[in-house]
Amino acid sequence: MESTLTFIFTDESIFGKYFRGLKIFKVESPPFIPNPGETVRFNAEEFTDDKETIENFNDFQDNDLFFCDLHSKTYGKNKMEVKILVYPELKFKEECAGLYNRVNDFLQ
């Protein structure tokens, strides 16, 4: 079965001023899918050649975390697509407070 993992960024300001295209990252046939509440990191240079975007991602990830939450799953006979919302930690803490608290309780 073919699978696609799409990361949808809730804060698009991380993308460069002159970034063109959809402000998402797609992975074909991902080896795993992050669970809600997990943190993720990105090698932005594998998704774009926009220098400002790559620099923004690297700078952000040096000092902060991206958290995931499930957006949707779509199943077909031969293909599955999973969409994941990606939040900066502060926004995740505000919008997904219950999940953020459960993750923090687990980590402490």
- Count of domains forming the chain: 1
When pLDDT is averaged across residues 11-18 and rounded to a whole number, the result is: 94
3-state secondary structure the chain: CEEEEEEEECCHHHCCCCCCCCCEEEEECCCCCCCCCCEECCCHHHCCCCHHHHHHHHHHHHHCCEEEEEEEEEECCCEEEEEEEEEEHHHHHHHCHHHHHHHHHHHC
Give the model's pLDDT for residue 38: 92
pLDDT in tens, 40-57: 999 999 999 999 999 999
The mean of the pLDDT values for the chain is 91
Domain that holds residue 83: 2-107
Q: Which residues contact 47 (CB under 8 A, 6 or more apart)?
A: 25, 26
